[in-house]
Homo-oligomer: A and B are copies of this chain.
Amino acid sequence: MSANERLVKQITPKTEDFSRWYGEIVQKAELADYTPMKGMMVIRPYGYAVWENIQQRLDRRIKALGHVNAYFPLFIPESFLKKEAEHVEGFAPEVAWVTVGGKEELEERLAVRPTSEAVIGPMYSKWIKSWRDLPVLINQWANIVRWEKVTRPFLRTTEFLWQEGHTCHATAEEAEVETLSILTMYKEFCETELAIPVLAGHKTPREKFAGAQMTYAIEALMSDGKALQMGTSHNLGQHFSRAFDIKFEDQSQTLQYVWQTSWGMTTRTIGALIMVHGDDSGLRFPPRIAPVQVVIIPIPFGDWKTTVLPAAQAAAESLRKAGVRVQLDAREEATPGWKFSEYEMRGIPLRIEIGPRDVKNGQAVCVRRDLKTKQAVPLADLAVRVPALLDEIQAVLFDQAGTFLTANTRRVQAYDEFKSVLESSRGFVVSPWCGGAECEDKIKTETMATIRVILPGDDSPQDGPCLCCGKPAVAAAHFARAY
């Protein structure tokens, strides 16, 4: 820790300037840093530890659904990217191109993958011959490059990390079942691990993945009232199997094109963790995903090194044995007060203070990051009480986010009210929509809101007319301004 870091780090209150608050937290909590290359970030060890926890927990779920991991090339020849017309149209503006290899100009330029459908397609075409080869259930953990104009750490960067699933099935029904099963898994993952409630539904044609038949997504509400797409699951139909000639012989010896899906979740989820749970003091990490769940801070006073320190060490050891990710900070060059605000800022769910009087009383003081409440806990009970406290904190963060989501989801029929809600309080606005892309465009231009998602129950003719054009509404859409 350097001299300037030993000062308490001041953060702009999030109510004052949300965007600045976000940027300061990212840097001061050392989650990520800007690099000299525009739009590219470094994920620093504290931020990467969050990603490792996300990876581990998501990977376990992906494998439990029968998928296996593989690794496909970083580069995609331009001619491959062009095989699916909508796909290249959607991604070409965002591609970084390799044109020189070693000392030589390449005959065909290579895209640095903006997504991998077009490099996986030719391999699936080679590997899949018979119905016996199906389903193919492959996932990949990889880096992705998209040449973005406006960037923000974790939320939108030129390079990001993700997992991308790519599956092939014998029937349209199986592909749809897969698409929805992944959507459900993503929702459960966000709610259980990240303590972030999400809405799961489908996108409009305007918002779907370039080349997909139907895109499903999970959307969350950030605490500034803007929506964030947390993950997408695409039913690709036969778009790519036709473009890349991925065929199988079915049980009656007929050649058929396979039905495909693809789906992904990215390092963007770390941005959501910051924006959903953070407060004016900094991060508030849900215990299940927090790199450090508990920090123990001995209070130095008198003969603390022979009394307090051994008690703190014993507490750390007993928590470690109970499976808790614990850190003991016994450094003398920083004061307890500095440490309190530092670890609050870093979002560690639970702080345990142990001073000379606590040791005499055989107790420790537990301070919750979520509610900032204090309670004395007998030292002997820590290994049982702390895991229970962590579960409570996880539940409180999820409940708070759920309450916020509910309070900021409004059903609105009239366009005037729609506009004023978006101006004053943002959030999700659920309104009747005619199904037309023209209305979507007009609403976006006039209010900066897009259709984030249409929930399963909302996909039918509505009582009121379309918010924008007055024609009969075919669905109730969740609109929001979004990241």
Contacts and interface: CB of A to CB of B under 8 A. Distances in A.
Interface of A: 1-4, 33, 35-37, 40-45, 48-49, 51-52, 68-75, 77, 80, 93-103, 109-110, 112, 119, 122-123, 126-130, 132-133, 138, 142-143, 145, 147, 159, 161, 333
15 contacts: A2-B128, A2-B130, A36-B80, A40-B75, A42-B72, A45-B68, A48-B68, A48-B70, A48-B71, A71-B161, A74-B143, A74-B159, A99-B99, A112-B112, A132-B333
A69 B49 contact: yes
Given A48-B69, A71-B161, A96-B101, 4 more contacts: A33-B127, A35-B123, A49-B68, A75-B159
B98 A112 contact: yes
Contacts of A129: 2-4
A140 to B, nearest CB: 9
Given A48-B71, A74-B159, A103-B93, A132 B2 contact: yes
Given A3-B129, A133-B1, A119 B45 contact: no
B77 A37 contact: yes
Nearest to A71: B43
Contacts of A1: 130, 132-133
B94 A71 contact: no
A99 B95 CA distance: 11
A340 B402 CA distance: 55
A98 to B, nearest CB: 5
Contacts of A103: 93
Contacts of A48: 68-71
A42 B102 contact: no
Contact of A101 (B72, B80, B147): B147
A133 B33 contact: no
A331 to B, nearest CB: 10
A93 B103 CA distance: 6
A70 B133 CA distance: 38
A154 to B, nearest CB: 12
A100 B109 CA distance: 10
Contacts of A142: 143
Nearest to A108: B37
Nearest to A159: B74
